Amino acid sequence: MTSPIYQLDTVLSKRYIEGACSERLQDYPQLGRLLAKYRRLLAQWHDAPAAGSTYERTIEFSSGDYYVLRWSVERTLESIRQTPLSLSVPALLGVLDAEACLEEGPVILVHHPFLAEEAQHILISGGRRILQYAERGAEAIEAYVLAPEQHYPALQTPLDQLLYLIHGSIVALMNYMEGHISEEELQEFLDQTTAFE
């Protein structure tokens, strides 16, 4: 399960998911079959070259596994339908990536709800501007914070979208096994990957 943009051998194993649950209250009987399906889907989808201006971010798991998400900056800009917020420059230094693409207009962050709470926002545009504002002592900067339904269509390729959805399914599986969500709520997450079959 290795590709230049993902390594998920450990994460897509029954042992990892069951072991990662802090307190397993229930099992998911189809877990082995579901993980095998995800491995097959990933083997079917090949990476396409990035077109246009992109921002990429490596998402790492505690196991050492990872995947890379890539956003089309142009499609991200097209998806914005809101007024920018005023965000704290010092707070944004925590999500700073000086390589984030565009250097004009409000900065752009995407919300990735499947990450640890302290890392759920990914800066995809404006890293250098945040540094410049911080150096000048500015307290605030204009920013767009895009919800998953806003930034998901801007993911560069179907493989990026599939990786994002598989991560969401893994988190939902663990939440189900820990008793935090119902079987119906779990199924909503799992159904999102059916478009890739």
User: Mind listing the pLDDT tens digit for each residue in 35-48?
Assistant: 999 999 998 887 77
pLDDT value for 2: 58
Tell whether the model's pLDDT for residue 184 goes beyond 90. Answer: yes
Weakest-pLDDT range from 18-27, 90-99, 149-158: 90-99
Q: What residues contact 51, with CB distance under 8 A and at least 6 apart?
A: 72, 156
Instruction: Please work out, in degrees rounded to the nearest 5, the angle formed at the alpha carbon of residue 35 by the alpha carbons of 43 and 163.
Output: 55
In angstroms, how far is CA 155 from the centroid of its own chain?
Answer: 10
134-151 residue pLDDT tens: 888 888 888 888 888 888
Residue the block writes with tokens 């000086």:
98
For residue 83, give both structure tokens: 């007024």
**Which residues make up the CATH 3.90.1530 domain(s) of the chain?**
73-152
Q: Domain 73-152's class? A: alpha beta
pLDDT value for 79: 82
Query: Residue 99's pLDDT band (boundaries 50, 70, 90)?
Result: low
CA nearest 1: which of 40, 57, 33?
A: 40
Weakest-pLDDT range from 8-12, 24-28, 93-97, 142-146: 93-97
For the segment 3-20, the average pLDDT, to the nearest whole number, is 91
Instruction: Please tell me the distance from the alpha carbon of residue 176 to that of residue 1, in angstroms, as a whole number.
Output: 25
pTM score of the predicted model: 0.84
R_g of the chain computed on alpha carbons: 18
pLDDT value for 177: 96
Listing DSSP states for the chain in one string gives -EETTEE-TTTTSHHHHHHH-SS-----TTHHHHHHHHHHHHHHPPP----SSEEEEEEE-TTS-EEEEEEEHHHHHHH--SPPEEEEHHHHGGG--TT-S--SSSEEEEE-TTS-GGG-EEEEE-HHHHHHHHHTT--EEEEEEE-HHHHGGGBSSHHHHHHHHHHHHHHHHHHHHTTSS-HHHHHHHHHGGGGG-
